[in-house]
Amino acid sequence: MRVECTSKMTVVMGATGLNGACAAASTSMLAAYALPLALPVVTTDHDEELDLPEQMRIRLDKRKRLADQGRDPYPVALPITHTIAAVRSEFPELEIDTQTSAIVGIAGRVMFVRNTGKLCFATLRAGDGTEIQAMLSLANVGQDSLDQWKALVDLGDHVFVEGEVITSKRGELSVLANSWAMAAKSLRPLPVAHKPMNDDSRIRQRYLDLIMRPEARQMAQTRITVVSQVRKSLESRGYFEIETPMLQTMHGGATARPFITTSNAFDMQLFLRIAPELFLKRAVVGGMERVFEINRNFRNEGADSTHSPEFAMLEFYQAYADYIQMAHTTRELIQEAAFAVFGSHVATHIDGTQLDLSGEWPMVSLYGSLSEAVGEQITPQTPRERLIELANAVEIEVGSTWVNGKIVEELFEHHVIERFGGRPTFVIDFPVDTSPLTRDHRSQDGKVEKWDLYINGYEQATGYSELVDPVVQRERLIEQAALGARGDVEAMKLDEDFLRALEHGMPPSGGVGVGIDRLLMTLTGLGIRETILFPLVKPEQA
RNA sequence: GGGUCGCUAGCUCAAUGGUUAGAGCUGCGGACUUUUAAUCCGUAGGUUCCGGGUUCGAGCCCCGGGCGACCCA
């Protein structure tokens, strides 16, 4: 008891534990447990334990009684011989009421309990969702052990069971225990298994979501599969994965507001990156001709069902490729990811709807499709006054810092995107004044070689023929700086080191950015907060 | 940014401005050696998100704040 108590204090409280201070420690420990979820703060008196929810008090008491009876509630090691999945696969289809004489040691979380007088049942579940039944009979474990099981094991506890693999009289594959041990005592009750938790709790306490809901485990697994496949797909095409700075002295590579932080040691302002683009291009300048990065970007703006302040982004760059070649590669990456998850290029969402990602994807021109939608020719030369009239006609409020291209893009989003009907579509050839890092179109004035990929009505990826002319790039960034001076908080900064890299010569290159969270949304049909395991949530109390 | 709705026991939810805020599951005590959301008997569990206000009386009405969902921009 003493050893267990002091070691626990070290974990929970740091170094304040003293040998023999178990009574005090127990009270302080309650405070340590209670604070994170804002339960009543336990102060000095041991009696204030009564302020905790009843069920938690009872479980804390069981934890203590386990220790008192020589059962460590949190043992360091257990003689496990099989995973639950291994037992299931080793004994796939036993007849009802079979004895195998195979002795195994297994562990899992208790998800279901049925305690009767002399024979107890429990369903144990492993983290992968596989389950097996444990049975404890008076005849096999004896009166004391059975009584302790009934008194001290709750739903949600991790337990170890050692015994024979059998099937019950109902045919359930089971381990008939010779002995049992607590693997980890749970101090809080699980949610009701048969009612869905509300969305807020599911996201704030994702660990409970993962325990209770197979779909949550499935989502986590799908993300793992997709990210892994994207890496394989790129590596098989000769790309190398590199890591570029998250903390930057100057943010760039996108138009967005950054998070700002400070370095104490350098006594200077730093930015969390809004995109890795400018560093990946530096790598291309250095001769890394096919590079990619999958990592987090941070943008200091609101959250909704398609936006998160931090989100995972894939960017990849290929020397001597242009934006059309990059579009093909992007389509293949997404199709290969879909195949890895579904074994098909057709994604099947949880609600059963299917999204066909197969075959070639159409390419439509931004200006052409917009012209068709509004019934008049729109070009980069269309006067600003006319663009504003068209915007006002559909109640788009034109911001004071908007350049013409921005108005065109807003008109496009308003008029055209729905016409794609969710089908993957590359929208090509964007306005030059909203794309400062993109090469001028090889044949069309006022446009750049850029595409956006729309799937299911939202932007899934973007690709460029990269601007590599350092003189033009400098002009573009100076224009951005001027926008910034006029109050556009999202305008790009003049990054002299990036320009210096370009001045050393960057080969003609294609580049792509793919939102990983959005790719998961595309494949699963879920909102962005479901594709991210632990999305940012505001604290429950101010 | 605007609007609508919501926040009550560990969880999921009830409750015309009017008795002591209820139910199911969970928990606790008891019965049961084949249970699958077991069944049966008994029982406990509450800062009604927070702070003001109106009222003889507020979970409910009013004001402010917090958190969330949905819709609109």
Q: What is the pLDDT along chain A (542 residues), one digit of tens a residue?
A: 233 333 323 333 333 333 333 333 333 333 443 333 333 333 333 444 456 788 999 999 999 999 999 999 999 999 999 999 999 999 998 999 999 999 999 999 999 999 999 999 999 999 999 999 999 999 999 999 999 999 999 999 999 999 999 999 999 999 999 999 999 999 999 998 888 888 888 899 999 999 999 989 999 999 999 999 999 999 999 999 999 999 999 999 998 889 999 999 999 999 999 999 999 999 999 999 999 999 999 998 888 878 889 999 999 999 999 999 999 999 999 999 999 999 999 999 887 889 999 999 999 999 999 999 999 999 999 999 999 999 988 888 888 788 899 999 999 988 998 888 889 999 999 999 999 999 999 999 999 999 999 998 888 999 999 999 999 999 999 999 998 888 888 889 899 999 999 999 999 999 999 999 999 999 998 888 889 999 988 887 54
- Residues ≥6 apart with Cβ < 8 Å to A162: A79, A103, A104, A105, A106, A175, A177, A178, A179, A180
A95-110: b or e for each residue (b if 16 or more CB lie within 10 Å)? eeeeebeeebbbbbbb
Q: Integer distance in angstroms from CA A50 to C1' B43?
A: 19
Nucleotide of closest approach to A97 (CA, C1'):
B34
Cα(A71)–Cα(A58) distance, rounded to whole angstroms? 17
Q: Integer distance in angstroms from CA A200 to C1' B51?
A: 24
A289 and A318 in contact (C-beta within 8 Å)?
yes
A432 and A380 in contact (C-beta within 8 Å)?
yes
Cα(A363)–Cα(A504) distance, rounded to whole angstroms? 34
Is the alpha carbon torsion for A488, A492, A496, A502 positive or negative?
negative
**Model pLDDT, residue A352:** 83
3-class SS of residue A172: coil
- In this prediction the pTM is 0.87
Residue A34 burial (CB count, 10 A) = 19
Which tokens sit at A477?
């960034």
3-class SS of residue A25: helix
**Model pLDDT, residue A51:** 67
Nucleotide of closest approach to A118 (CA, C1'):
B33
Instruction: Write out the H or E segment, with its range, that includes residue A31.
Output: helix A22-34
Q: Integer distance in angstroms from CA A214 to C1' B40?
A: 33
Interface ipTM > 0.90: yes
Which amino acid, one-letter code, is at A368?
G
Is the alpha carbon torsion for A334, A335, A336, A338 positive or negative?
positive
Cα(A360)–Cα(A312) distance, rounded to whole angstroms? 26
Which tokens sit at A433?
């004044």
A412 and A459 in contact (C-beta within 8 Å)?
no
Protein-proximal positions, strand B, CB < 7 A: 9-13, 24-29, 31-38, 44-47, 65-71, 73
Cα(A185)–Cα(A71) distance, rounded to whole angstroms? 11
**Model pLDDT, residue A457:** 85
Q: Integer distance in angstroms from CA A199 to C1' B20?
A: 34
- Residues ≥6 apart with Cβ < 8 Å to A458: A306, A518, A521
Task: For nucleotide B9, give the residue with the nearest CA to its C1'.
Answer: A53
Which amino acid, one-letter code, is at A448?
V
Task: For nucleotide B70, give the residue with the nearest CA to its C1'.
Answer: A305
Which amino acid, one-letter code, is at A79?
P
Nucleotide of closest approach to A535 (CA, C1'):
B68
Q: Integer distance in angstroms from CA A52 to C1' B47?
A: 13
Task: Kindly provide the residue ranges of all beta strands, DSSP E only, lying in A320-390, ordered along the sequence.
Answer: 346-348, 354-356, 363-365
Task: For nucleotide B7, give the residue with the nearest CA to its C1'.
Answer: A200
**Model pLDDT, residue A45:** 38
Which tokens sit at A157?
């506890």
Task: Kindly provide the residue ranges of all beta strands, DSSP E only, lying in A398-446, ordered along the sequence.
Answer: 425-431
Which tokens sit at A94?
């036993």
Residues in chain A: 542
Residue A11, CA distances (Å) to A17, A282, A464 in order: 10, 45, 51
Cα(A22)–Cα(A1) distance, rounded to whole angstroms? 9
